[in-house]
Amino acid sequence: MYVGKCLCGAVAITVKGEISDIIHCHCSLCRKNSGTAYATNGFVDKADFTVVKGRNELSAFSLKPGKTRYFCQYCGCPVYSSNNQDQLRVRVRLGIFDSDISERPIAHNFIDSKANWENMTADLPHHLTFEPSRLK
């Protein structure tokens, strides 16, 4: 089982099944919604997905008819989205999970619209905390 919560802790979720079709989405909508270079999303069966805390703390936004994004009304953390064309699953933002995830991403999608500053193959340094310039 996977457990997760939003940044402020007002919303908590569980997933008791597998996470499938995990992708890094570089489309402009996911970039804007996440505020980052891409969003990492995975599908879960609705029957395996539960908002265990804060269902009333979720706000919703629909940019396109039939597609709804749910986020914490307090901290703005994206939690999941639904699509009327896929009644059996929801799409979850993987960054919400506190649990280690055993499934792995299968692709980078919409790379033609990736941020011009994103270099997916960059050989950059890795740090356990902040980059050294911020530790001064």
Summarize the confidence of residues 7-28 as an average pLDDT.
Answer: 96
Contact 29/98 with Cβ under 8 angstroms? no
Say if 41 falls within a structural domain.
Answer: yes
What is the domain range of residue 89? 2-117
Say if 130 falls within a structural domain.
Answer: no
At 92 the three-state DSSP class reads strand
Say if 65 falls within a structural domain.
Answer: yes
Measure CA 76 to chain center: 12
Q: Which residue has the tokens 């996911």?
A: 30
Q: Determine phi and psi for 81, rounding to 5 degrees.
A: -135, 155
Say if 112 falls within a structural domain.
Answer: yes
pLDDT higher than threshold 80 for residue 126: no
Of residues 44 and 132, more confidently modeled: 44
Tell me, what's the pLDDT at 70? 98
Please state the domain count of the chain: 1
Say if 126 falls within a structural domain.
Answer: no
Which pTM does this prediction carry?
0.89
* 66 contacts: CB under 8 Å, gap ≥ 6: 83, 84, 85
pLDDT higher than threshold 90 for residue 120: no
CA-to-CA distance for 82 and 75, rounded, in angstroms?
20
Say if 136 falls within a structural domain.
Answer: no
Say if 134 falls within a structural domain.
Answer: no
CATH of the domain at 50: 2.170.150.70
Say if 133 falls within a structural domain.
Answer: no
Of the pLDDT bands very low, low, confident and very high (cuts 50, 70, 90), residue 96 is: very high
